[in-house]
Structure 1
């Protein structure tokens, strides 16, 4: 099994719609929203933990727009239990994305305290960040995209930001405790109560294209948040990237992380959910997944590592078990944090995977290597996949990879 296949670099050329002038687009959308803030009003701007492209620029333009209206904005982290479920951890997550008092000139008020709002007929408590609730108004900002655990009318986006992001650790735990049912059915009802009894005045929705570029920004009055969130989810699903082929023996991910996907590895890309009782996606079909590293912005949170079969020693040593456990215990999907086989280097990881795939020889395996589940345009493929990709109109074969491994038995640069 020691003989590697020949690898070839490929690049997919796509030209999806994207925004070229972020500040102007954000300003125009905010102006067109019809929402106004009273001079002197304190406005909480709720920002989450996702690695959203152009996040700092969008937040900065929103802050400037609020100031021009005479409002006094401040930032609140709205990320449920992320950041280790602590105020300090959540503030640090925002700082990693360029969201800080030094960068924006406004306070970042990170607390875990919440107020409980009337729940109506909702079967779980409805929580809302106390500091945001004590402000005169709240603005929520989030990317709309398919969720990593379920599919429904509302997945990741503005509705989830109200229910789970602003609900902080207690709100996230109460919804996640009900599993997929809690996310698909209860979460929108919690958000409805949050919008009804909280002080959300405006939502800013972001959609990204298949190249991880900002393709849409929409400013939404509170009364239309649920409606627009649902509409934009369909847009986001249509814009999702995909692997170059759907039948793969070994998928190599150079990295996983919270700034790539809420689960570190996007299940919508790799076709794995790892949620007991929930059927696995039918496509793509991947026998073995190797992950080589954890991004620095994950701050040790390796929730989602259980979707992999093999990881490297260096990834394992970067894991903060406490942060990972806090995240996965809140979600209740413990399978997703189980530690895979640990290989000492990339060479050993591939040998492990080759032995487990059932192919006669590693040289015959259908292997794909990409940077992560967000950036899929550039890839390595094994020689056996050349006929498959040659049938794709937008794929260019750039040449053979040589050498495949360096002197440390690590894969050479992608």
Structure 2
């Protein structure tokens, strides 16, 4: 198959000096830093510059007389064990040595309230601290829509709540999750344990673009504005609305909580909940699971076929725990398994045709991709796209696709 290389121009606004930007954002907080120990949350996402941001936040707290420490806050991820969650943040560069701060990992929680779906919980180290700096990226969530989705409120309710908090939230019906995350978040803020939040916004190239420090009483009012800002001004999308086939070279937690972002591929994978109206894709093939996902392949069921090497990389226990916690088992339904990338291409072509193909590295980095001849005219008319005039032949080495993204 011959494909044309496509460059998609995305919003490009990287922060040049991350530590300075973190300090400048936190300097705007009007309330004083509590004396004593301050917990900083660390999630499992592959957030750009996450180690530098976390270190800078800790340094800023130290300059104000506090004693910061880091808490892995990722709900049920990485096997829902303290060791697994610590290993996850260390794989992101958040180690005690690099951060010059201790890491305190535990799955123990303190109940701080109750909802109709279960107890509201908080990581015990966060609860025992003198305050919590909630740190997370703000972006659309993978299973519900609403004014608040993935960000500071989610980090508090699901991340800091450990597997218990994740279960409480995910037992809420999808259509009520947007209201639930606000109610649960406000209950956690009501404990007085939250010192502040640092919301991260990334540009279209997965670069840190903006940092916003918020007082806890601002979370509910300001986070929706930041989400709208990101969605309208930064969020990367596929360059067309209809495809016969989408080939995704890599999936994994570092790109999206579901490996492939539903907001990009248009598939929610939720029983009884309609998919997004666009894009419309006939077949999706996923070729590889990133090693940084440490076997958690939640979301592989959103595709139609996976390769044997992706299947072999799955830690089904980790993936099952994550899926059962969310309650969305369709997202790990077993799809068609093919021998290798060559078979994935052939299977998708036989199933959905060969006219409108797009090959992407993952669903987070969408500036460089490859398109079939049937998409070329449409993409050339897209002012954000530059399409190579001459196509390249897709090469396979030992059954693996070789394309330079």
- With normalisation by structure 1, the TM-score equals 0.94
The answer to whether 1:7 aligns with 2:3 is: yes
**Distance apart, 1:394 and its partner CA:** 2.8
Could you tell me how far apart the structure 1 residues matched to 2:70 and 2:331 are?
A: 31
Matches within 5 A, 1:90-109: 90-109=85-104
**2:382 aligned residue:** 392
- Say if 2:34 and 2:131, in contact at 8 Å, map to a contact too: no
Q: Deviations over 1:267-322 (max 9, x none)?
A: 00000001011111110000000111001110000000000101111111000000
The 5 A counterparts of 1:15-414 are 15-39=11-35, 41-119=36-114, 124-181=118-175, 183-238=177-232, 239-357=234-352, 359=353, 362=354, 365-414=355-404
Residues 341 and 399, structure 2, Cα contact 8 Å, conserved in 1: yes
CA distance in 2, matches of 1:380, 1:92: 35
* CA contact 1:162–1:191 (8 Å) conserved in 2: yes
Q: What CA distance in whole angstroms lies between the structure 1 residues aligned with 2:360 and 2:390?
A: 15
For 1:202 and 1:36, the matched residues in 2 are separated by 10
The residue matched to 2:388 in structure 1 has which SS? Answer: strand
CA deviations 1:230-271 (Å, max 9, x no partner) are: 111111211211112211001010100001001110000000
- Counterpart Cα distance in 2 of 1:11 and 1:166: 39
Instruction: Tell me how far 1:37 sits from its aligned partner.
Output: 2.1
Is contact 1:63-1:73 (8 Å) kept?
A: yes
- Unpaired segments ≥5 residues, structure 1: none
CA contact (8 A) 1:367 1:381 kept: yes
Confirm or deny: 8 A CA contact 1:179 1:332 kept in the other structure. no
- Please give the alpha-carbon distance, in whole angstroms, between the structure 1 residues aligned to 2:266 and 2:241: 9
Distance change (3 Å), C-alpha of 1:38 and 1:283: closer
The secondary structure found in structure 2 opposite 1:126 is: strand
Q: Deviations over 1:29-62 (max 9, x none)?
A: 11111232244x0111111111111111110100
How many angstroms does 1:118 deviate by? 3.0
| Structure 1 position 227, deviation (Å) | 1.4
Asked if structure 2 preserves the Cα contact closer than 8 Å seen for 1:175 and 1:182, the reply is: no
Change (3 A) 1:38 1:175: closer
**Secondary structure of 2:401 counterpart:** coil
Displacement of 1:219? 0.7
| 1:399 Cα offset (Å) | 4.9
CA distance in 2, matches of 1:86, 1:181: 30
The number of residues matched between the two structures is 403
Q: SS of the residue aligned with 1:273?
A: coil
The CA deviation at 1:13 is: 2.7
Q: Is the contact made by 2:113 and 2:121 (CA closer than 8 Å) also made in structure 1?
A: no
Q: After superposition, give the CA deviation of every residue in 1:155-203 in whole Å (9 maximum; x if it has no partner).
A: 0000111111111100101111223145222221111110001400110
With structure 2 as the length reference, what TM-score do the two structures score?
0.96
Structure 2, unaligned runs of 5 or more: none
Q: Secondary structure at the match of 1:406?
A: strand
How far 1:228 moved relative to its partner?
A: 1.5
CA apart distance, 1:122 = 5.9
Which whole-Å CA distance do the structure 1 matches of 2:117 and 2:399 have between them? 54
Q: Tell me, yes or no, if the aligned pair for 1:257 and 1:301 is still in contact at 8 Å.
A: yes
The 1:38–1:186 alpha-carbon spacing in structure 2 relative to 1, beyond 3 Å, is closer
Q: CA deviation at 1:104?
A: 1.1
CA contact (8 A) 2:132 2:195 kept: yes
Q: 1:338 to 1:122 in 2, by over 3 A?
A: closer
Poorly superposed stretches of 4+, deviation over 4 Å: none
- State the superposition RMSD in angstroms: 1.4
